[in-house]
A and B are shown apart, each in its own frame.
Chain A
Amino acid sequence: MKSRASDKPGSLAYVGKYLLHSPSAMVGLCFLVGIMILSFLTPFIFKYGFRELNIRAQYSTPTLEHPFGCDEVGRDIMVRVLYGAKYTISIGIFATAGGGLMGVILGAIAGYRGGLVDSFIMRFLDVFQSFPAILLAIAIAAVLGPGYWKVILACGITGIPGYARMMRANILTVRGSEYIEAAKSIGCKESRVVVKHVIPNAFSPMIVSLAMGVANAGLAASSLSFLGFGVVPPTPEWGSMLSTARTYILEHPHMVIFPGLFIMLTVLSFNLVGDAIRDALDPKLRD
């Protein structure tokens, strides 16, 4: 897919135009935007509320009335799944934004300052990377206890070491390049060099991993909720819905299908968008 954009490759406008011309990215974006809108509009569209009990429809398998079926207390699963979209998506975005910001700052400081500060920060991050990411998230969530913002914190902190490492590596590459030397030699102040030249150039490779990070953070959040350490019932977060549905898996397997399917579609959409951004930023990868 070639973009006819005359913008400089790598600029945000260029990436934007590239995305508009990439069918898979558009499918992903449309799904995400669509489900977000639906999520906020559920109270106005559907005749059932997301926490409306209906004992007569208990365990109802998918019908025209309830396309995704009903759960153990007769709540409509479709309404709950759509309403719950905002949790997984917003947790993914907030956690990545927070973790990414912290990571970028730490990585930038470590990479630009070097020396003792660098080794201190990197050794500290080593500790966090000495166990699998999901385990770190579980440990943090266990300490914080369940709750929406706490999951964001747990998933956000988990992402920091990876982003910091990447940012540090980028800064090191950029710092040694000739245009930085040129900027310095024409008498730019150090603050100007850092803010105007080093950070923007070191940051653009980060965009891809941040886009992919949203998918991972959303996935991690729903895993936490599934284990009971994240967003807890009765909030219709997809992971916690699956956790409840699992109890009834032998008798009422339909309860398991849709929450998981929507986690998958959401993660897939973020990955599609992330792939397209990567292609836009790195022309080498385009076939």
Chain B
Amino acid sequence: MLKYVGKRLLQIIPVLIIVAILIFVLMYFVPGDPVQIMLGDYHATEEQIQATRARLGLDKPFLVQLWDYLVGLTRLDFGASYIYNINVGQELMHRFPYTLRLALYSLVFVVVVGIPLGVLCAVQAGKTVDRVLMVVTLVLNSMPAFWLGLLLIILFAVKLNWLPTSGIHGWTSWIMPTIATSVGALAGVCRQTRSSMLEVIRSDFVVTARSKGLSERKITYGHALPNALIPIITVCGTRFGAMLGGSTVIEAIYTVPGIGQYMVNAINSRDYPVVRGSILYIAFSFSIIMLVVDLVYAFVDPRIRAQYVKVKKKAESEEEKTPEAA
């Protein structure tokens, strides 16, 4: 198991290196000169422009710039922001907790509300509760998160004046961003839970459990749900990853000082080190999340856990064989 985690972690490194190179190359060819944008308002002289260029290292050849950037990355140095001259790495460290908290709160909300609702739908399949919830989730699933975010502002901040419109001041500020980020995922998880529960409920072991005289509650939560979990975890995992990225829009609406907002502002001001750093940071955390999801599978499903062990044994036996063959 540990070996598997190590292998997966090692696999992330080449992917991140290629992402870093790709982002650098792409950003290099973005139309619009950052120096022009920085100095645009001041009628800068040619010397000033050249001096700024030299200060930012933009006068060096492309490959040298790329090399310097990659060497910096090995020291976890993302460079300094063109505009604010602040170390991007430090700023990302400051901002990442906001983005992560938003995604985590949303995930908790999705799991705590979405899965029980899905179970309820499956148990009550075909009845009024189920039908109503299916229509509601279908609609919510199609709702753009940023529109929902704006509607929540109109309702809770403008009309009712219960919650703050923007910025993060205390726990009340998290309510609207969390709801806006999670509602689509919640609907998706609810629907997935329902359909995978329905499949399991029909299986033989549930009939057996019922014929043993177990309570419906025990059957549903003790036998059916654990066996229906794998596809639900897949949906939760991919949605969590999407929320991490999708929070970009939500952060922009509620001015949450997270990575997404940082990046959007940086794109507009051609602040390349910030854009590159943000994308790399999210790519890294996204890869880690996908790894965690895979590990959760093993935690939930003993069959998958057994596979890891089998792979390990097979690899070991192959290692033993190779010297003999040689």
Contacts and interface: CB of A to CB of B under 8 A. Distances in A.
Determine if chain A interacts with chain B: yes
A271 B191 CA distance: 13
Contacts of B150: 242, 245-246, 249, 256, 260
A21 to B, nearest CB: 19
B242 A223 contact: no
A226 interface: yes
26 contacts: A130-B286, A131-B279, A131-B286, A134-B242, A138-B264, A138-B267, A140-B26, A142-B275, A143-B30, A219-B144, A222-B144, A223-B144, A223-B249, A227-B248, A228-B268, A242-B147, A249-B154, A249-B158, A250-B165, A256-B147, A256-B151, A260-B150, A264-B143, A264-B144, A271-B138, A287-B125
Given A127-B18, A132-B246, A226-B146, 7 more contacts: A133-B242, A138-B248, A139-B279, A145-B30, A256-B147, A264-B142, A267-B144
A130 B249 contact: no
Interface residues of A, number: 43
A256 B253 contact: no
A271 B158 CA distance: 32
Question: Main SS of chain A's interface residues?
Answer: helix
Contact of A135 (B29, B31, B248): B248
Interface in A245-281: 245-246, 249-250, 253, 256-257, 259-261, 263-265, 267-268, 271-272
A142 B275 CA distance: 10
A118 to B, nearest CB: 17
Interface string B269-306: 00000010001001100110000000000000000000
Query: Which of B31, B125, B150 has the most CB atoms of chain A within a 10 A radius of its CB?
Result: B150
Contacts of A138: 248, 263-264, 267
Contacts of B158: 249-250, 253
A215 interface: yes
Contact of B22 (A127, A145, A219, A223): A127
A248 to B, nearest CB: 11
B252 A227 contact: yes
B27 interface: yes
Contacts of B29: 143
A145 B146 CA distance: 21
Question: Main SS of chain B's interface residues?
Answer: helix
Interface of B: 12, 15-16, 18-19, 22-23, 26-27, 29-31, 125-126, 138-139, 141-148, 150-151, 153-154, 158, 165, 195, 241-242, 244-246, 248-249, 252-253, 263-264, 267-268, 275, 279, 282-283, 286-287
Contacts of A140: 26
B144 A271 contact: no
Instruction: Give 3 nearest A-B pairs by CB, closest first.
Output: A132-B245, A260-B147, A268-B142
A232 to B, nearest CB: 12
B79 to A, nearest CB: 17
Contacts of A260: 144, 146-148, 150-151
B249 A226 contact: yes
B282 A131 contact: yes
Contacts of B252: 227
Nearest to A255: B150
Contact of B27 (A143, A242, A265): A143
Contacts of B246: 132, 134, 223
Contacts of B126: 287
A229 interface: yes
A7 interface: no
A223 B146 contact: yes
A98 B148 CA distance: 29
A132 B30 contact: no
B26 A143 contact: yes
Contacts of A267: 142-144
